[in-house]
């Protein structure tokens, strides 16, 4: 099946810093999504981004489908950004998740 | 408010006692699915449904059953739960298979003793 790799696995930032999270996938996909799992365990959909660039406030994402990667940018990070960020791709009928990036933003 | 609702949120039970986790969505979505999340193993798909009366196995279907009699509901059934099914479970829905963003429920934490 398709492989989804995220980097870095862990990231610690000071409040106000910027960061880039990466997602690589091993085969063609129908779409790609980014999720944030907050400390309460809830999974929040951040972006549905099969290709191109989208922005939502301090967050933006870019997917280059032809090169099989996606990037999630977090600017001016806040403590509420802490949690795990997952990339997930749909190939055929399956949604496959990466292992996530654990982000900690310290005040 | 558009949402996916799972119940119960928490359950502690014993081996072999049948249980059902309900899932309901109010967005008229065609596609629904179940996942389990385990430390070190990430999120894995259990079953999915592309439409009413159409279901199929995901990556880890053993020990689970599902049904899709109505578009809005997609219950997960554990006929004879075992301790290795202790996990955090999520239900999700989207407009279609591979179409549109997936919306997740808040999760159900199951402990099988």
* Residue in A48, A86, A99 closest to B101 by CB: A48
pLDDT digits (tens, 9 = 90+) for B18-29: 999 999 999 999
Report the gap between the CA of B18 and the closest CA in chain A (Å). 25
Is pLDDT above 80 for B87? yes
Average pLDDT of chain A to the nearest whole number? 95
CB distance B8 to B90 below 8 Å: no
* Residue in B50, B58, B98 closest to A30 by CB: B98
What integer pLDDT is reported at residue B100 of this predicted model? 86
Distance, in Å, from the CA atom of B85 to the CA atom of B113, rounded to the nearest integer, reads 10
pLDDT digits (tens, 9 = 90+) for A62-98: 999 999 999 999 999 999 999 999 999 998 778 899 9
Please report, rounded to a whole number, the percentage of residues in chain B having pLDDT higher than 70. Answer: 100
User: In this structure, what are the phi and psi dihedrals at residue A99, rounded to the nearest 5 degrees?
Assistant: -85, -5
């Amino acid at each position: 099946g398709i492989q989804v790799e995220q980097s870095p696995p862990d990231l610690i930032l000071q409040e106000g810093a910027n960061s880039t999270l990466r997602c690589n996938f091993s085969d063609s996909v129908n779409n790609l999504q980014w999720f944030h799992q907050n400390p309460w365990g809830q999974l929040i959909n951040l972006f549905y981004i099969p290709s191109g660039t989208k922005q939502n406030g301090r967050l933006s994402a870019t997917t280059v489908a032809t090169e099989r990667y996606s990037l999630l940018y977090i600017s001016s990070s806040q403590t509420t950004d802490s949690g795990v960020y997952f990339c997930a791709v749909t190939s055929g009928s399956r949604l496959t998740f990466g292992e996530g990036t654990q982000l900690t933003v310290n005040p | 408010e558009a949402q996916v609702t799972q119940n119960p949120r928490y359950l502690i039970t014993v081996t072999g006692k049948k249980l059902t986790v309900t899932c309901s969505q109010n967005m008229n979505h065609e596609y629904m699915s179940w996942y389990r999340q385990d430390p070190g193993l990430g999120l894995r798909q259990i079953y999915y449904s592309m439409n009413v009366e159409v279901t199929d196995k995901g990556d880890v279907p053993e020990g689970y059953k599902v049904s899709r009699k109505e578009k809005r509901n997609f219950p997960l059934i554990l006929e004879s739960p075992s301790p290795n099914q202790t996990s955090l479970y999520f239900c999700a829905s989207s407009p279609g298979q591979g179409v549109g963003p997936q919306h997740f429920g808040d999760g159900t934490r199951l402990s099988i003793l």
